[in-house]
Amino acid sequence: MSNTVTITGHCASLSVSGVQNAVTIEAADAITASGFNNKVTYHSGTPKISNSGDSNVVTQG
């Protein structure tokens, strides 16, 4: 709950669940967000995005 994580480099897949987590990643092939009020920011690429739950945000930035 309410964690902030920064991942450098590339991941094959990233899964974020829980409440009010903030994750920044350089690049990923797939991003899954579940739970509530999570924010995932990726810097490059065009990952396959799966977004379930409520008020989760996955954006490029």
**Would you say residue 30 lies in a domain?**
yes
Kindly report, residue by residue over 7-51, the tens digit of the pLDDT: 999 999 999 999 999 999 999 999 999 999 999 999 999 999 999
Identify whether 60 is part of a domain.
no
Residue 4 banded pLDDT, cuts 50, 70, 90: very high
Q: Residue 32: which domain range?
A: 4-55
Domain-embedded: residue 40: yes
pLDDT on residue 2: 86
Q: Which is higher by pLDDT, 2 or 48?
A: 48
Contact by Cβ (8 Å): 25, 43? yes
- Evaluate the CA torsion angle 20, 21, 24, 27 in order and state its sign: negative
Q: Is the pTM of this model over 0.85?
A: yes
For the chain, how many structural domains are there in total?
Answer: 1
Residue 25, token pair as written in the block: 């990643």
In this predicted structure, the answer to whether residue 1 has a pLDDT above a threshold of 90 is no
Residue 11 lies in a domain: yes
Tokens 């995932």 sit at which residue?
A: 40
- Considering the domain boundaries, does residue 61 fall inside one? no
User: Is residue 20 domain-resident?
Assistant: yes
